Chains A and B, each alone.
Chain A
C-alpha cells in the first residue's frame, strides 16, 4: 500500500507540476462551461415564457437543466480521457523509468494501481471542478440535491472504467500520441456502439447497447441509481486493470 501511494504521489506531482493537468482541467471547464451557459440561457427563456403564461408550477431544474448538462458532460469526458491517461505508462516506457520501476522491489500491481489512481485523481479533480456550476444552480434555484449527487457518482464510476481503459492503452506503447489516439478510438467506440445498437437487430442490438458506456449513464443522469450500471462500470474497470497487468507482464517478454 505504501508503494502504491509512493507511485501515486509521484505521478500526481508530475501532472500538477507540468501544464498537462491545468490544460486538461481548464479545457474541460471551458467546454462544459459553454454548454452550461447555453443551456442556462435557453432554460431561462423557457421559464420566462412560462411565467408570461402565468403558469404557477415552476419548471423543474433537475429535469430541464441538470440532466441534459450531465449527459453532455458525459460525452465531453470521452474526449478528455485520452489527454488524462496518455502519459501514464508511455512516458515511463519512453524515458526508461519503466526499467527502474520494474527492477525495484515493487509488484506489478503496485505500479499499475499507483499509476491508475494518479490518473483517476486528475479525472476526479476535473469532474469536481464542474460542481461549481451546480453550486450556482443551488444558489439561484431549488434543484433536488440527491439526483445531482447520483449524477456525479455516475460520472465518477464511468470515469474509473474509462481511465482504466486509457491506462491499458498507454501501457501498450511508448508513444504518447499513439496512446492518446488509441484511447480516443476506444472511448469513441464505446459511445458509437450505442447508436449501432438501434440497427443491429435482435441478437447484437442488446449486446451493443449493453457495452455502450453512455447508455449506462442515462439512469444516473436522471438521478436513478441502479446497481446493474454500477456492476457494469466496476467490472469494466477491473477488466481494464487486468488487461494492463497482462500488458506490463508481456512487455517484459518483448523487452
Chain B
C-alpha cells in the first residue's frame, strides 16, 4: 500500500532523513519508532505530500507522491503532530470545511461529519468553538478530521502525545479498531506503545532505519544477544575455532572475503558482557591481523535506551 524507497531529506546541511526504505502492507499498522529528532515527522510530511524529498520516492496505492500528489492526498488521512485546527470555528463547521476540501460530496457532508463525530465520540461538542475545547477533545477533533472521506491510509504523527492516561488507552483502542479498514502508519517515541498497537515496527534514529521487525522479535533481539563484527587475517578455520572457544560467545558466522586468508566474522555473545578486549587479545596472541572490529548490535540497544521505555503517564 505504501512504498518508501531511498528517501533522503536535507534541511540546509542537516540530513534529517538519510536513505530510508520500507513498505507497509494493506491493513497493517506500522509503528514508526524513534527518539526525538529521529526524522519521524519529516518522513511523514514527505509521505503526505506536505513537502518534497531531496531524493528518493514514495508511492501510495501505486501513485507517486511527487508526480500524482493529488491522487495520493485523496487517499491519505493525516493527523499532524499538532492537530491542524481553526480555533475560531465551531467543531461542526470545521469538519464540514475539511470534508468539503477532501472532496466529500455536498449532499453527504453532514452524514460524513456525523459518522466521524460518532466514531470519535465528539457529538456533544459539535456546536462548541474549537478554542474552548480541552486538549483531549482537540486531539479527537484532529483525529476525526483525518477520518473524513474514509481514506484507505492513515498517517498519525505521535497521536497520543499530551493526552492523559485514560485518553491514551482510548486512542490506542481506536487505532487498533481502525486497522481492519485502513492501513495505518503511526509514529511514537514510546517503546511500549508500538508493542501494544502495531503489527510491525520500523525503528529510526538520526534519519536512518536501524531495525525493522515485529514488536515481539525486536524485544527478543533486545534481550537476546549482542553481535560484534570482526575482520581478521589468518587461517579461517583456526580463527573460527579460537573465537568459538572464547567465553560468552554464542555463535560465529563467517563471511570470506576476496583476499586469501581473510574473512569477516559475526560473533554473537551473551548480552551484558563486553568481550571485545578478550577477542582482540586472543587474535593478537595467535599472530593474526585484526583489521576491523565493530559492534553491530549495540547501536540498536543504544537507540532503545534513548527511547522512552517506561510509560510515566500510564501506570
Listed in ascending order, the chain A residues whose CB lies under 8 Å from chain B are: 2-3, 6-7, 10, 13-14, 17-18, 95-107, 252-255
CA A105 to CA B84, docked complex, whole Å: 16
Chain A CB within 10 Å — which of B78, B87, B100 has the most? B100
Tell me whether B86 and A6 are in contact (CB under 8 A).
no
Tell me whether B11 and A255 are in contact (CB under 8 A).
yes
B116 CB, nearest partner CB in chain A, Å: 15
Q: Does B83 reach chain A (CB closer than 8 Å)?
A: yes
CA A100 to CA B42, docked complex, whole Å: 15
Contacts of B52 in A (CB 8 A): 252-253
Contacts of A253 in B (CB 8 A): 51-52
Tell me whether A17 and B88 are in contact (CB under 8 A).
yes
Listed in ascending order, the chain B residues whose CB lies under 8 Å from chain A are: 11, 42, 45, 48-52, 70, 73-74, 76, 78, 80, 82-89, 93, 97-98, 100-103, 145
Contact among B42, B45, B82, B101 with A104 in the assembled complex (CB-CB below 8 Å): B101
Contact among B73, B74, B89, B101 with A14 in the assembled complex (CB-CB below 8 Å): B89
B147 CB, nearest partner CB in chain A, Å: 14
Contacts of B80 in A (CB 8 A): 96, 99-100
Instruction: Return 30 A-B CB contacts under 8 Å, by A number.
Output: A6-B100, A14-B88, A14-B89, A17-B88, A18-B88, A95-B84, A95-B86, A95-B87, A96-B82, A96-B85, A98-B84, A99-B84, A100-B78, A102-B49, A102-B50, A103-B50, A103-B73, A103-B76, A103-B78, A105-B74, A105-B101, A105-B103, A106-B70, A106-B73, A106-B101, A107-B70, A253-B51, A253-B52, A255-B11, A255-B45
Tell me whether A100 and B98 are in contact (CB under 8 A).
yes
Tell me whether B86 and A104 are in contact (CB under 8 A).
no
Given A96-B82, A97-B84, A253-B52, are A105 and B97 neighbors across the interface (CB < 8 Å)?
A: no
Given A7-B101, A105-B70, A255-B45, are A99 and B50 neighbors across the interface (CB < 8 Å)?
A: yes
Give the number of residue pairs across the A-B interface with Cβ within 8 Å: 72
Contact among A95, A102, A104, A107 with B98 in the assembled complex (CB-CB below 8 Å): A104
Contact among A97, A101, A252 with B85 in the assembled complex (CB-CB below 8 Å): A97
CA A106 to CA B70, docked complex, whole Å: 7
Contact among A95, A100, A252, A254 with B145 in the assembled complex (CB-CB below 8 Å): A100
Tell me whether B70 and A95 are in contact (CB under 8 A).
no
CA A105 to CA B89, docked complex, whole Å: 21
Given A14-B88, A18-B88, are A96 and B97 neighbors across the interface (CB < 8 Å)?
A: no
A-B contacts besides A99-B50, A100-B80, A105-B101, 10 pairs, CB < 8 Å: A10-B97, A96-B80, A96-B82, A96-B84, A100-B78, A103-B50, A252-B51, A252-B52, A254-B11, A255-B11
Contacts of B50 in A (CB 8 A): 99, 102-103, 252
Using CB atoms, name the residue of chain A closest to B78.
A103
Contacts of B145 in A (CB 8 A): 100
> How would you classify the secondary structure of chain A's contact residues: helix, strand, loop or mixed?
helix
Contacts of A103 in B (CB 8 A): 48-50, 73, 76, 78
Contacts of A96 in B (CB 8 A): 80, 82-85
B15 CB, nearest partner CB in chain A, Å: 14
B235 CB, nearest partner CB in chain A, Å: 55
B161 CB, nearest partner CB in chain A, Å: 14
Chain A CB within 10 Å — which of B70, B78, B86, B98 has the most? B86
CA A99 to CA B70, docked complex, whole Å: 14
Tell me whether B70 and A14 are in contact (CB under 8 A).
no
A33 CB, nearest partner CB in chain B, Å: 29
Using CB atoms, name the residue of chain B closest to A251.
B51
Tell me whether A14 and B86 are in contact (CB under 8 A).
yes
CA A107 to CA B51, docked complex, whole Å: 14
CA A99 to CA B42, docked complex, whole Å: 12
Using CB atoms, name the residue of chain B closest to A254.
B11
Contact among B73, B85, B101 with A95 in the assembled complex (CB-CB below 8 Å): B85
Contacts of B76 in A (CB 8 A): 103
B41 CB, nearest partner CB in chain A, Å: 9
Given A14-B86, A105-B74, A252-B51, are A6 and B45 neighbors across the interface (CB < 8 Å)?
A: no
CA A51 to CA B133, docked complex, whole Å: 67
B309 CB, nearest partner CB in chain A, Å: 29
Tell me whether B73 and A105 are in contact (CB under 8 A).
yes
CA A104 to CA B78, docked complex, whole Å: 9
Using CB atoms, name the residue of chain A closest to B86.
A97
CA A17 to CA B49, docked complex, whole Å: 31
Contacts of B85 in A (CB 8 A): 95-97
Using CB atoms, name the residue of chain A closest to B157.
A99
CA A18 to CA B86, docked complex, whole Å: 13
CA A13 to CA B96, docked complex, whole Å: 13
Using CB atoms, name the residue of chain B closest to A104.
B101
Contacts of B82 in A (CB 8 A): 96
